[in-house]
Amino acid sequence: MTRVIVLGADGYCGWPTALHLAAAGMDVCAVDNLSRRRWDEALGIASLTPIPSFETRVDAWNEVGSRPIQAVVGDLLDYDFLHDLIARFQPDAIVHFAEQRSAPFSMIDRLHATFTQHNNVIGNLNLLFAIKEAAPDCHLVKLGTMGEYGTPNIDIEEGYIEIEHNGRKDTLPYPKQPGSFYHLSKVHDSHNIAFTCRVWGMRATDLNQGVVYGTVTKETQLDARLVNRFDYDDVYGTALNRFCVQAAAGEPLTVYGSGGQTRGYLDIRDTVRCIELAILNPAKAGEMRVYNQFTEQFSVSQLAELVVQAGRTLETEVQVDHLPNPRVELEDHYYNAKHSKLRDLGLEPHLLSDSLLDSLLNIAIEHRDAVQSGSIKPRVDWRDTANKGLSAAAALYDPGSQGALRGAIDDVTTRGRQRDAQREAVASFAAK
Ligand SMILES: NC(=O)c1ccc[n+]([C@@H]2O[C@H](COP(=O)([O-])OP(=O)(O)OC[C@H]3O[C@@H](n4cnc5c(N)ncnc54)[C@H](O)[C@@H]3O)[C@@H](O)[C@H]2O)c1
């Protein structure tokens, strides 16, 4: 029986992945520190779909799912917790989703930038040490992002590129040109993972994922309490979700700049399958494998046009507006990223044209009364080092002030008083 720990299991990708792996017959331990729920509160945003508490969703799955999962609340920044968890559970694979994943969040101001890099880079480093010390043969499946590469004027390879220089050849890590402090944190993670594969013989797969869309998987459909997140706000929402919500609310779609920004995209059903495929086909000891995890490329304008067309099917007239781009990025560029390795392992992609109405637009229409229109307009300008209106929550995140950071984390990670319960949960699961 394959034993898997899913870190970040209360999040958008982690939740359906934990359920999918359980349904596929794996022993799943779902871990999260619930911090994302707190960040949402601090930023005044919320998932469009009403997600119940972590406890309620886990109980719901254990009631209706084919194979129960175990849930533990804990923080990757808490090394003792992490080491203990891995030592007791002895996983074959660990899937690591547990990071602060918003580029705008990381660009709000210094505190959000330092918090993001502290949470992501130190959390990932703690994980590498804990695996090496407690379960060195375990396969790390780490979520990276296509945003690590930026938009170079040449084809993007899957992690490595063969270079000829002054008459000599080598295969080297593909150059990275990340576009935010968040994307930079992912690049730092990739370097740390590659280093530990080389030096400690760790086995790892870095999945450079494109932008994920969709809310529904086979497992989340089983019960209303299993519903997945749908983020559409300016900080965590993606352009496609935002467009669907705007179309559902009868508002114009807001394209940033000219709309020529092109990226890789994939359906959430393909995310969960890619993770399963990576686990079933582990990297070799000492190998740092890199897969580009997306299925189709679109520019922002193409996405807007697809939503306009889908609106016509629903007999809704959809307008498109262009806003000054708050980000610093190329708006008219070459983009051709390779993505064949997961297909080679057996991925059969779902295409956006087939799921736009069902998995996005109709969900946005179903929940349109919950739309907070005020949270759609961009509030974070890449050129500004102190974006006003969002820095109020900064004290929560300041890693420079251990007290404030630890205080914020203490509230959500059941440290102290609840630590014993946490250890018991790990122990009882490990004993199964
Ligand atoms: N959503 C996308 O489109 C997308 C695209 C490319 C890559 N990714 C990557 O996939 C991963 C998951 O993204 P997501 O969209 O599910 O994000 P999310 O914010 O919905 O989920 C992340 C989860 O991790 C938890 N977490 C964060 N820091 C933690 C810590 N220190 N300890 C324990 N738990 C912690 C949060 O509470 C949250 O539930 C991220 O690493 C992200 O970079 C996502």
Q: Which residues line ligand 1 (CB under 6 A)?
A: 8, 10-14, 32-36, 75-77, 97-101, 119, 123, 143, 145, 209, 211-212, 229
Nearest-atom number in ligand 1 for the CA of 74 is: 33
Query: What is the CA(33)–ligand 1 centre distance, in A?
Result: 11
To test the pocket of ligand 1, the residue of 5, 81, 94, 101 to mutate (highest count of ligand atoms within 8 Å of its CB) is: 101
Question: Which pLDDT score, from 0 to 100, does residue 13 have?
Answer: 98
In whole angstroms, what is the distance from residue 65 CA to residue 411 CA?
Answer: 30
Q: Could you confirm whether 145 is annotated as catalytic?
A: yes
Which H or E element spans position 58?
A: helix 54-64
Residue ranges of the chain with per-residue pLDDT less than 70: 391-432
Question: Which pLDDT score, from 0 to 100, does residue 409 have?
Answer: 37
Nearest-atom number in ligand 1 for the CA of 76 is: 32
For residue 265, report the phi and psi dihedrals to the nearest 5 degrees. Answer: -130, 155
Q: Measured in Å, how far apart are the chain's first and last C-alpha atoms?
A: 12
Q: Which two tokens stand for residue 160?
A: 């490595």
- Residue ranges of the domains in the chain? 3-431
Check residue 263 and report its DSSP letter.
Answer: E
Nearest-atom number in ligand 1 for the CA of 98 is: 24
Question: Which pLDDT score, from 0 to 100, does residue 428 have?
Answer: 57
CATH, domain 3-431, list 3.40.50.720, 3.40.50.970, 3.10.310.70, 3.40.50.150? 3.40.50.720
Which of the following is catalytic: 12, 149, 174, 182?
182
Nearest-atom number in ligand 1 for the CA of 37 is: 37
Contacts of 427 (CB under 8 A, 6+ apart): 88
In whole angstroms, what is the distance from residue 415 CA to residue 396 CA?
Answer: 17
Contacts of 354 (CB under 8 A, 6+ apart): none
pTM of the model: 0.93
Which of the following is catalytic: 142, 176, 186, 341?
186
Question: Which pLDDT score, from 0 to 100, does residue 404 have?
Answer: 39
Distances (CA, A) of 346 to 3, 22, 180, 273: 21, 19, 33, 9
In whole angstroms, what is the distance from residue 239 CA to residue 301 CA?
Answer: 10
Question: Which pLDDT score, from 0 to 100, does residue 413 have?
Answer: 37
Query: What is the CA(26)–ligand 1 centre distance, in A?
Result: 21
Contacts of 318 (CB under 8 A, 6+ apart): 246, 247, 252, 253, 307, 308, 311, 312
Residue nearest to atom 1 of ligand 1 (CA): 212
Strand partners, 94: 5, 140
Query: What is the CA(353)–ligand 1 centre distance, in A?
Result: 26
To test the pocket of ligand 1, the residue of 7, 12, 40 to mutate (highest count of ligand atoms within 8 Å of its CB) is: 12
Question: Which pLDDT score, from 0 to 100, does residue 415 have?
Answer: 38
